[in-house]
Chains A and B, each alone.
Chain A
Amino acid sequence: MFNKKAFLVDLFFISLCLLILSALLSFLSRKGTRHWGCGGVFAGSAIGLVFSVQALVQNLTLTKSFGILLPSLSLTFGIDALSAFFLVAIFGLSLLTSLYAWGYLENQDLLLPSLPFFPLLVASMAAVVTAQDGFLFLICWEMMSLTSFFLVVTEHKLREVRHAGWIYLVATHLATTFLIVFFVLLYKKTGSFLFDDWALLISIPPFLSGLLFFLALVGFGTKAGIFPFHVWLPHAHPAAPSYISALMSGVMIKTGIYGLLRALTFLGLPPLWWGGCLVGIGILSAVFGVLYALVQHDVKRLLAYHSVENIGIIMTGIGLGLIGIAEGNATITLLGLGGGLLHVWNHAIFKGLLFMGAGSVLHVTHTRMIEQLGGLLKKMPVTGVTFLMGAVAICGLPPLNGFISEFLIYSGLFRGAQSLSGLSLFLVVIGIVGIAFAGGLALACFTKVFGVVFLGEPRSCQKEKIHEVPLTMQIPLIVLSLLCLLGGIFPQFVWSSIARVLEVISPLPKAVLGHGDGVLGLLHPVVYACLIFLGLGIVVGLLGRLLYRGRTIRHAVTWDCGYAQPSPRMQYTASSFAQPIAVFFRVLFRPHLQFQKPGGIFPGPSSFAVQIADFAERIFFQPLFSQCDRIFGFIRKIQKGRVQNYLALIFMTLIVLLLWEVWFGI
């Protein structure tokens, strides 16, 4: 008999094999790198998407082991609702990204050499969320970090790109160290690497579980980009080619969220301080992320900071869920965790859209600096309108998808404010005000980006002729912006799958989670209200147009107090736009000004430049690394650049470890 379940699982492995094969072929092929790479990702992701959607809808729970290599080790893949949920996002966005990359990489020979890593990155992300034992997980995690590193340093001839790659490599490996300790501790506790065995762990002493939570938070949080471990994001995202930025920001950093959620399933009932910690970090990330985004002039760097903001919102949701568990309040848990999870998908959609839109702008104008752009909406209408949809969605404005997930988190926070007391009450109130403030700043930020890049007049004389991007680059943008709208007006369809994920990650009994219907009861009216609003908007818009019937419309220059010849240089710049907020937070930003005043009777050249260093980098990481440099400087003496020395050192280390194992048993 035809076994449908087994066939489905085979689909997953077929997709992985296809991805790896296409990486090989695109590496070996001389002329067909782009065809094999993008085509392979397209086919592999399409198959993977079919599998993951089916797995999520059918709530498939399966594991499959491959016993290889060492006797005690087996590689176990498995799928449950949590894995499937992230898998859908990974394959879905990869599918669109491959289409986009097809157009993006045409005649871009400089960007091609790193393309074979693209299918590998997709495969390793898929493997990370389906790995069901710690050992395999770490291997895939490392694969993911390395492939994305090679993709980040695609344009390695540029100094800043190498710098960005270096920061990313160091950050991701420091984080992995925490994860290795996390996994080894769990292994020592249970004697097994299998996630299933870890999930059965019942009694962990509070100290150990607290330590494990901390390790997971730092390890996974660095990948996710929480404050203050976000420093690699604003370097790595602008350096990478745009399709990779979209993939990294849309789904790769979400593997950090996945890891944290998976880790929470091992650690038992969370005490209150975990939730408090996550809400605090979430709000800090949200507010700091958007504040730094506001003062950026590089559109991709700005979007990278916005990822920090959105990860903050997701973390706030998860933290609220944990507070709900600790306080025994199921509704808050549902709303918090559910809203956070929904925001994972939503952020993948609109951040993928925004990065690809920014990529299209970069593709056509060859600059990421928004101060040099302007007036693109008239020349690139599809890119402009889809970017606008993404901007409205990321600000959490109705009626798009960002609003729905923020609405759920807000509802949970408000519910918390009404029913909790003491520390929890304080936390949820901070949560509400923090998200609201971040939302207001995000609005300022995206009106700045869209207004400066797409509206007004071109700021610098653009040499190239500006034209709309090819169709393969438009289609992903259109699909994603339609998803933004659908996510805003039909979120009920997604909720059933989120409810299944909640069953996996929340230790609450299923009966309590049955209240998921209550959440639907909350979602339905807001969705109807959004639909009414859409209808109202169309009616009012049409009426407004009707008023112009039969009237003359003249065209004239912009009214600027009577200037006859306004020049594009008179426009407000992005820096001026952000200035009121930047001045208010100057203590935080510590801007570094380079100002050469014009002077003399015949003023010479003058210039003005502002540089803003990241707070976390300045206060935390720079002192940390310079201290390390000072303390461990003596080690440089043994670095002679001879392979024999290094081999000898590795050998000695192994012997020491062996002796340690014999005497102490670690």
Chain B
Amino acid sequence: MVSELLKLTGHLAILLLIPPIFLGIIAKTKAFFAGRKGPPLLQVYYDLFKLFCKGGVDSRSASFMIRLAPGIVLSTLLMAGLLLPLLYEAPIHFRGDLILFAYLLALGRFFTILAALDVGSSFEGMGASREAAFSAFSELAFFMALVTLAVMTQSTSLSHIFQWGNTHPTFHPAVVLLFISFFLILLTENSRMPIDDPNTHLELTMIHEVMILDYSGPDLGLILYGATLKLFLFMALTASLLWPPTGLFGFQEIGYLLAKVAGIAVVIGVVESVKSRLRLSKIPQLLVANLVITTLALLITVLGGPI
């Protein structure tokens, strides 16, 4: 009982404290490639602290939706975090929890889009429209990848899917394909580089950043923290494909987790440094191509026999 409580506390502590650092790692990587020094590693923490201490500015056009959304979005992400195994099995796990995981993310997206439409700005409407369209296309590959995982491991619970023990086939083609696919989904869902540019605020090019233009103060803080949490969840999920959680609980395992997620963060930084943003009309094509990758992975899993 006590150890269960300890594990839950540990899991929650990881979800609440660690995610912002990885934005710092990505920023450092990009700065390295650009030959700059870059912001401090803990910059996002400073930003969060600053935002939480501020007051707010509300749009006169907005209704209560804009106030409601950050709380809902953050709680969907926290709940999704409770379903995802980080070091051992997740605090909440049951058969079919991967469906809940996917739909919680969709619920968060629903309210992000509505909050963007609430202020009646054409920029935010534009971002909302793109978010809605691209995530629908991204859903294709995401669910195909989930099916592949479910068939590969004969389980529909994230905790069981990533419980490989010593039998994990690291460089099995299906696993590698899934890793590529999840990496693309990670970039799409978190509005990273070839899909979206997280750095520009007022260009017509971006998706996620423009949806939150009218947020300020603590609400913006919640959204920023939510974005880091979402990035962390996806990075942990993607990294777990190649390097599953050990199933033990200890400082060493926490170190492993941080190392593998930091590895993915560095890869994201590299991708963002060497790739330019895709033309908007190309993005659905990329996402449908991702469906093809996952379909291949499924075919290999089904036809290739047991792993």
Contacts and interface: CB of A to CB of B under 8 A. Distances in A.
Interface of A: 374-375, 377-378, 384, 392, 395-398, 403, 407, 410-411, 414-415, 417-418, 421, 425, 429, 432-433, 436-437, 439-441, 443-444, 446-448, 450-452, 454-457, 522, 525-526, 529-530, 532-533, 536-537, 539-541, 543-545, 547-548, 551-561, 566, 568, 570-572, 576-581, 583-584
Contacts of A545: 67, 71
Given A407-B99, A443-B135, A554 B56 contact: yes
Most buried by A among B63, B154, B156: B63
A527 to B, nearest CB: 10
A541 B65 CA distance: 12
A557 B59 contact: yes
A278 B156 CA distance: 25
A440 B218 CA distance: 30
Contacts of B248: none
A579 B128 CA distance: 12
Contact of B61 (A425, A530, A554, A558): A558
B117 A529 contact: no
A436 B284 CA distance: 16
A561 B202 CA distance: 8
Contact of A417 (B61, B134, B150): B150
A330 B109 CA distance: 36
Contacts of B122: 560, 570-572
A407 B60 contact: no
A219 B57 CA distance: 58
A552 B110 CA distance: 29
A577 B129 CA distance: 5
Contacts of A457: 61, 120
B97 to A, nearest CB: 7
B164 to A, nearest CB: 17
Interface stretch (B139-147, B169-177, B262-270): B139-147
Given A429-B147, A558-B61, 9 more contacts: A395-B106, A433-B140, A444-B136, A447-B113, A547-B218, A547-B221, A571-B121, A572-B124, A580-B130
B61 A456 contact: yes
Given A455-B65, A553-B56, A572-B117, A444 B133 contact: yes
25 contacts: A374-B120, A392-B107, A398-B103, A398-B104, A411-B95, A411-B99, A417-B151, A418-B150, A421-B302, A436-B142, A443-B110, A456-B120, A457-B120, A529-B83, A533-B104, A536-B78, A540-B74, A540-B75, A551-B54, A551-B217, A553-B56, A566-B121, A571-B120, A577-B129, A581-B132
B123 interface: yes
B161 to A, nearest CB: 11
B58 A554 contact: yes
Nearest to B82: A532
Say what secondary structure dominates the interface of chain A: helix
A417 B156 CA distance: 11
Contacts of B103: 396-398, 403, 407, 439
Contact of B63 (A378, A440, A576): A378
A440 B136 contact: yes
Given A407-B100, A450-B114, A580-B280, A541 B58 contact: no
Contact of A581 (B120, B133, B140): B133
A103 B147 CA distance: 48
A324 to B, nearest CB: 16
Contacts of A529: 79, 83, 92, 94, 97, 100
Contact of B74 (A415, A544, A552): A544
Nearest to B288: A584
Contacts of B150: 414, 417-418
Contacts of B25: none
Nearest to A546: B218
Nearest to A445: B132
B110 A447 contact: yes
A559 B110 contact: no
A456 B100 contact: no
A418 B151 contact: yes
Contacts of B116: 451
B55 to A, nearest CB: 4
